[in-house]
Amino acid sequence: MAVIKSPALHLLYMVATVVVMVAADLQQFKHPVKAGGSLSFLVIGDWGRRGLYNQSNVAYQMGKVGDQMDVDFIVSTGDNFYDSGLVDEDDPAFFDSFTNVYTAPSLQKQWYSVLGNHDYRGNALAQLSPELRQRDNRWHCMRSFILHAGNADFFFVDTTPFHEKYFTEEDQEYDWRGVLPREDYLSQLLKDVDVALKDSSAKWKIVVGHHTIHSAGVHGNTQELVDKLLPILLENEVILYINGHDHCLEHISSSNSQLQFLTSGGGSKAWRGDINPWNLDEMKFYYDGQGFMAGEITENDLVVSFYDVFGNVLHKWSGSGNMRSAC
């Protein structure tokens, strides 16, 4: 992994007084891909429960599939540590729920993570702290950032602050340090994501966030994201929106665009049992149990697969036939 220093960032170092104007640029990283340009990765969400609720079994199968696919990195869609994120950088949950659970050799790769709402209930800054990387150098958690990997660009978006409810509910506390004033934070973030998507020349544009845009699960759609983020994804020909939040595995397609909505939130506690009705033309797959997702990207193809806790492939989808640029 290498940090790309954008010109704006250099400017930041040189002219401290313009920090406010340029600091908002999303940080960019580059992950090397395999010789030949292909890339494979796993996606896990809603997981940190000290191995309980099948977290360890999911981890075991991730290790096996990760080995077979020779994965390049892991993506975490957030809700990394239950119930309330980390207390601080020394919280033993970091080892109990991460380091000592995902022990397979194939999983000793970079983990690119965003924060979920449960992470914001604890010390959000602790998860973002570079100190954690010294404890386990796989850990790479940021609010919003860009990852370039071969012909794919991943845009990680901090979705928790979009959710109005978290700012009004009275029985929960959230760590909003660095997020307030909220309206400024959100408008800057949306602008940054839009600009970054427009700047991207990658064949495959993939956006990752914790919250659902479309889901038939218990949380359902996140209206704020439908209203504010979805139009930007559609305008910029994003192929995948990947999230967690609903504790299930799910694939919803769009009837009017190439965008696919993928939920990988089966990292530990699942089996909520309730699924809301959805248009059957769009609903490609829904599984209310534990598991994870895998992605494989080659020059002309993008394949996603969902695995259960036994390592069975439950659903597979290929994006090659759907690409506009392939026409």
Ligand X SMILES: *[C@@H]1O[C@H](CO)[C@@H](O)[C@H](O)[C@H]1NC(C)=O
- The number of beta carbons lying within 10 Å of the beta carbon of residue 203 is 17
Contact 247, 217 (CB under 8 A): yes
Q: Is 62 among the residues that bind ligand X (CB under 6 A)? A: no
- Residue 54 within binding range of ligand X, rule CB under 6 A: yes
Rounded Cα distance, 136 and 106, in Å:
15
**Is residue 311 near ligand X by the rule CB under 6 A?**
no
CB atoms within 10 A of CB 68: 12
139 in contact with ligand X (CB under 6 A): no
* Residue placing its CB nearer to ligand X in the complex, 289 or 311: 289
**Toward ligand X, which CB reaches closer, 53 or 155?**
53
Nearer to ligand X, 21 or 52 (CB): 52
Query: Does 61 contact ligand X by CB under 6 A?
Result: no
Least distance (Å) between residue 249 CB and ligand X:
12
Residue 315, SS3?
strand
315 catalytic, yes or no?
no
Largest CA distance in the chain: 55
Q: How far apart are CA 312 and CA 322, in angstroms?
A: 25
225 binds ligand X (CB under 6 A): no
If one asks whether residue 263 binds ligand X (CB under 6 A), the answer comes out as no
**Contact status: 55 vs ligand X (CB under 6 A):** no
Q: Is 309 in the site for ligand X (CB under 6 A)?
A: yes
Judge contact between 119 and 161, C-beta under 8 A.
no
The one among 29, 53, 102, 306 contacting ligand X by CB under 6 A: 53
Token digits of residue 135: 């404890």
Q: Give the active site residue among 31, 140, 214, 219.
A: 219
Q: Is the C-alpha dihedral spanning 161, 162, 164, 165 positive or negative? A: negative
Q: Which residues are catalytic?
A: 219
Q: Where along the sequence are the contacts to ligand X (CB under 6 A)?
A: 53-54, 271, 289-290, 309
